[in-house]
Structure 1
């Protein structure tokens, strides 16, 4: 198989169409289409089902995908020196996908420290209120709140983290302190937009029987700032509380949640540069969560 054709195949599979793939490869769509047709002829199989909605991998295409990704990683490993300069520092570009709470309150400190030690490394933080799609190469690695179930991704537990009920002092002075978790059902709550909760682990309020969220956002940072503005009660990451000293915990012994961050990368051949980076990221994240949660007590 021709690597150039495999490269086009991977781009089309990730973009789910010719136009997006062609833009990324700096080809015109017609050329990309001819490359796919040539690859299909050489394999004697149709790799994509084409429709007005885009290109979807056929069964043959799904079988080829992991082999093409393995070839891509092997070629990258053979073309570089492990992603390090002469002093052993990391170089190149690495993109991290993460939920916005992690991206806002943890990754800046962690990545700043990694970047200071590796000045020729470009670190990109992709903050999204949804799961980052590693299969489409939106990022090189992702931090998630649930472990993936697909065998094409490899996950390791990064760290537990805690969340608490919190409100501004002004709101509590005006409205009083709830006397039990049951009181949350009738309280003015801040939380996620219900139909935009992209992971069951983020449905914090359901555990307390809360069915109405008068003030909602898909972004953790917006929820935190609504609470700071005196809009109501919110479930807040403990690691974010040091950034909002005007908030206080409410019912700290009775409303206390624990969740887990997972570090997710592609399965398949190991990438030495990415392995080195994930070690730095893992150690930095664990230390930063512990530091911020200690400041919040």
Structure 2
């Protein structure tokens, strides 16, 4: 018996969720039913597709070979559905975007709102996580990262550079010890990421401040800006976030000036899907324009 598309959907869900329960949730089926479908597929193909362990389901060598073919079928089905819907005129369907919370809070809402205004049939979802979104598990269709991935069957496009500076609330600076050089910074409380929760080396800004500890830390950029808004100390902030927090000003802008980059990541095969390809192009263009607009206000 040759596997049909429904068999492959079950296989993909288990491969990505690494458990019957996660696959069942994604498919809206009972985990026991998912387990029976996997067993039936393995019997039909005459090879084990998964290694069962207490920690979950891992792909065997045969399962790894089937994965690429199953994803190719998935992409072909998606392209066919788009052609039937006539999406050359207007896009529709769900698109999920994972991004660091700075981008998710201060850039993506404006960009996605404009895309949706042009394509009201789209369902755009933003996932803001203090980690890199796992595309292999299909947590999202796109991931925006601050470092390009080192491995994987992925398409990587640089979106834009963005700038960060040392900042503080002007009221804090009026009442705190004077800051005229980088050597003065360690006298002040530093706001930043929790050091052992930094998930990308590009987010480790502490050394740039000349300080050795973070007095007020959070894994979320929005919380860090909240500390700074409350006159709690100094911190590194994205220039594009400053228009959202009135009162924050740059400190020693010549001495502490950082440049980082955003990258758009997707599965390599997804670039051939019209809907995702067009949304990806709109995300890149929109993010570039929004970073430039907001940075020009600071």
Query: Which TM-score bucket, shorter chain as reference?
Result: over 0.9
Aligned to 2:228: 227
Aligned to 1:180: 181
CA distance, structure 2, for counterparts of residue 26 and residue 169 of structure 1: 53
Aligned to 2:32: 30
| 1:207–1:45 distance in 2 versus 1, CA, 3 Å | farther
Aligned to 1:50: 52
CA distance, structure 2, for counterparts of residue 240 and residue 123 of structure 1: 22
Matched, 1:62 2:64: yes
The C-alpha deviation readout for 1:82-140, integer Å capped at 9, x for no partner, is: 7655x811111111111110011111111111111111211111111110111111111
Q: What TM-score comes out, normalization by structure 1 length?
A: 0.94
CA distance, structure 1, for counterparts of residue 274 and residue 84 of structure 2: 6
Q: CA deviation at 1:178?
A: 2.5
Aligned to 1:264: 265
SS in 1 for 2:77: helix
CA distance, structure 2, for counterparts of residue 41 and residue 211 of structure 1: 59
Q: From 291, 294, 297, give the equivalent of 1:295.
A: 297
> Does the Cα contact within 8 Å between 2:82 and 2:274 map onto a contact in 1?
no
| 1:83–1:182 distance in 2 versus 1, CA, 3 Å | farther
| 1:282–1:82 distance in 2 versus 1, CA, 3 Å | farther
Aligned to 2:14: 12
> Does the Cα contact within 8 Å between 1:129 and 1:218 map onto a contact in 2?
yes
CA distance, structure 2, for counterparts of residue 185 and residue 44 of structure 1: 65
Aligned to 2:244: 243
- RMSD between superposed Cα atoms in Å: 1.6
> Does the Cα contact within 8 Å between 2:208 and 2:256 map onto a contact in 1?
no
The C-alpha deviation readout for 1:14-67, integer Å capped at 9, x for no partner, is: 111001111221222222111111222233322211112111122322222222
CA distance, structure 1, for counterparts of residue 143 and residue 183 of structure 2: 36
CA distance, structure 2, for counterparts of residue 211 and residue 83 of structure 1: 57
CA distance, structure 1, for counterparts of residue 25 and residue 109 of structure 2: 30
CA distance, structure 1, for counterparts of residue 67 and residue 182 of structure 2: 49
> Does the Cα contact within 8 Å between 2:82 and 2:275 map onto a contact in 1?
no
Question: How many residues end up aligned between the 2 structures?
Answer: 295
CA distance, structure 2, for counterparts of residue 163 and residue 272 of structure 1: 35
Q: What TM-score comes out, normalization by structure 2 length?
A: 0.94
CA distance, structure 1, for counterparts of residue 275 and residue 84 of structure 2: 5
SS in 2 for 1:268: helix
CA distance, structure 2, for counterparts of residue 84 and residue 195 of structure 1: 48
| 1:8–1:211 distance in 2 versus 1, CA, 3 Å | same
Q: CA deviation at 1:81?
A: 2.3
* Runs of 4+ that moved beyond 6 A: none
Q: From 65, 81, 84, give the equivalent of 2:83.
A: 81
| Structure 1 gap ranges (5+) | none
Q: Which moved more, 1:251-260 or 1:30-39?
A: 30-39
Q: Which moved more, 1:167-176 or 1:41-50?
A: 41-50
CA distance, structure 2, for counterparts of residue 84 and residue 134 of structure 1: 27
Aligned to 2:275: 273
Q: CA deviation at 1:208?
A: 4.2
CA distance, structure 1, for counterparts of residue 111 and residue 189 of structure 2: 34
Q: Which moved more, 1:112-121 or 1:235-244?
A: 112-121
Matched, 1:108 2:109: yes
| 1:56–1:27 distance in 2 versus 1, CA, 3 Å | same
